[in-house]
Chain A
Amino acid sequence: MKTLNLEKAGWLFMRFSGALLIVLIFTHLGVNLLSDGGVKAIDFAFVAGKLANPFWQVFDTLLLWLALIHGANGMRTVINDYATKAGVRKVLLGALGVSTAMLIIMGTLVIYTLDPCPAGTPADLLPSFCPVA
Chain B
Amino acid sequence: MTTAKSPAAQNRIAGTLYRGHEGMWSWVLHRITGIAIYFFLLVHVLDTALVRISPELYNAVMASYKTPVMGLGELGLVAAIVFHAFNGLRVILVDMSAWGARHQKGMFYGVLALWLITMLAFAPRHLAHVFGA
Contacts and interface: CB of A to CB of B under 8 A. Distances in A.
B31 interface: yes
B49 interface: yes
B108 interface: no
Contacts of A106: 45, 49
B78 A71 contact: no
A15 B130 contact: no
A18 B54 CA distance: 33
B35 to A, nearest CB: 6
Given A44-B58, A125-B59, A18 B92 contact: yes
Interface string A5-30: 00000000001001101100110010
Nearest to B96: A15
Interface stretch (B4-12, B36-44, B99-107): B36-44
What is the predominant secondary structure among interface residues of chain B facing chain A? Answer: helix
Interface string B108-133: 00000000000000100110111000
A53 interface: no
Interface in B38-96: 38, 41-42, 45-46, 48-49, 51-52, 54-56, 58-59, 62, 65-66, 71, 74, 78, 81, 85, 88-89, 91-92, 95-96
Interface in A47-86: 47-48, 51, 64, 67-68, 71-72, 74-75, 78
Contact of B129 (A39, A68, A126): A39
A18 B88 contact: yes
Nearest to B128: A38
Number of contact residues on B: which range applies?
A: 35 or more
Given A29-B78, A64-B45, A38 B125 contact: yes
A114 interface: yes
Nearest to B81: A25
Contacts of A91: none
Contacts of A71: 34, 37-38, 41
5 contacts: A39-B126, A47-B48, A47-B58, A71-B38, A74-B35
Given A33-B126, A71-B34, A71-B41, 11 more contacts: A18-B92, A19-B92, A22-B89, A25-B85, A29-B81, A39-B129, A42-B65, A64-B45, A106-B49, A110-B51, A118-B55
Closest 10 CB pairs of A and B: A38-B129, A44-B55, A71-B38, A125-B55, A18-B88, A22-B85, A110-B52, A103-B45, A110-B49, A44-B58
